[in-house]
């Protein structure tokens, strides 16, 4: 039997990138998948191609979560994946000196408020059964400082800590509702693809971007999805309040030899 057979799994921000890879892996594992996204034009055909359900969801809005709760009052797995850097398509300074309060609030509203609302929905959707798995996608940026993306780093750090609060709260209530965070870094998603481009210098750009990773390569969305599938499955029943790094060894330190 596949690991997620007959489980109802909801993935936010699932139209592309890591969210899409997670949804595809869940389908491969036998789950009934609900893919949500704010981009309906991309999300609806992506869900149809996977044999999943699509729900338009703006994670920032309580009424959208209320509608999801009406459609799916119970679920087994929720992946809070939807997130923004805050400077999508606009090369703006997000350092601690120049970021505006509006930019700061904008990033936190999607990344942190969206995760809070998602966790609250999931707890209410899982507590009748008394079990389930909440998986919050944070980032390496939630574990180290990022001077040029202060709002993003702050929001991802808060996701890490909120995951632990949710895990402890659920355990305190006697529920087998688990909550963990996943921290990817240098994963080759559409955001990175846009930066690299398809020009003749593509290989050189990629090499430069991963020069500081001990494994000297980008990770793939499928590799993140594999970790998330483990956390969604019953085999991780003793895992809660933990964080999982998928970063090619970045947080381990430097792999350079003394002579480098």
Segments in 79-173 forming alpha helices (H): 101-108, 114-126, 150-172
Radius of gyration of the chain (CA): 18
Q: Count Cβ atoms below 10 Å from residue 100 Cβ, excluding itself.
A: 12
Extract the tokens encoding 217: 């390569």
With a CB cutoff of 8 Å and minimum separation 6, the contacts of 81 are: 11, 12, 13, 14, 18, 19, 22, 137
The catalytically annotated residue of 121, 152, 169, 238 is 152
User: Which residues is 187 bridged to in the sheet?
Assistant: 219
18: nearest Cα among 156, 138, 101: 138
Quote the CA–CA distance of 159 and 116 in Å, as a whole number: 8
Q: Evaluate whether 10 touches 36 at the Cβ level (below 8 Å).
A: yes
The upper half-sphere exposure of residue 203, i.e. CA atoms within 13 Å in the direction of its Cβ, equals 1
Q: Using CA atoms of 207, 212, 217, 223 in order, give the dihedral in degrees to the nearest 10.
A: -150
N-term to C-term CA, the chain: 49
Question: Helix, strand, or coil here: 145?
Answer: coil
Active-site residue, 169 included: no
**CA 26 to mean position of chain CA atoms:** 14
Question: Helix, strand, or coil here: 194?
Answer: helix
Q: Give the active site residues.
A: 152
């Amino acid at each position: 039997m596949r690991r997620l057979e007959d489980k109802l799994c909801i993935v936010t921000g699932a139209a592309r990138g890591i969210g899409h890879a997670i949804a595809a892996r869940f389908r491969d594992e036998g789950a009934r998948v609900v893919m949500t996204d704010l981009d309906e034009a991309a999300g609806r055909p992506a869900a149809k191609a996977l044999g999943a359900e699509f729900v338009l969801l703006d994670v920032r809005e309580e009424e959208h979560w209320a509608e999801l709760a009406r459609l799916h009052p119970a679920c087994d797995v929720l992946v809070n994946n939807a997130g923004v850097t805050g400077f999508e398509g606009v090369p703006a300074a997000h350092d601690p000196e120049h970021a505006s309060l509006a930019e700061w609030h904008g990033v936190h509203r999607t990344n942190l408020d969206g995760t809070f609302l998602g966790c609250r929905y999931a707890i209410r959707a899982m507590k009748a059964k008394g079990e389930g798995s909440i998986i919050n996608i944070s980032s390496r940026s939630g574990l180290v400082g990022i001077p040029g993306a202060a709002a993003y780093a702050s929001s991802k750090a808060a996701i890490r800590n909120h995951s632990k609060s949710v895990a402890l709260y659920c355990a305190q209530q006697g529920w087998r509702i688990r909550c963990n965070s996943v921290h990817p870094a240098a994963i080759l998603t559409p955001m990175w693809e846009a930066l690299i481009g398809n020009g003749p210098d593509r290989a050189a750009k990629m090499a430069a971007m991963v020069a500081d990773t001990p494994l000297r390569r980008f990770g793939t969305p499928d590799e993140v999805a594999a970790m998330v599938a483990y956390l969604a499955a019953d085999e991780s029943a003793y895992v809660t309040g933990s964080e999982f790094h998928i970063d090619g060894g970045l947080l381990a330190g430097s792999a350079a030899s003394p002579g480098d």
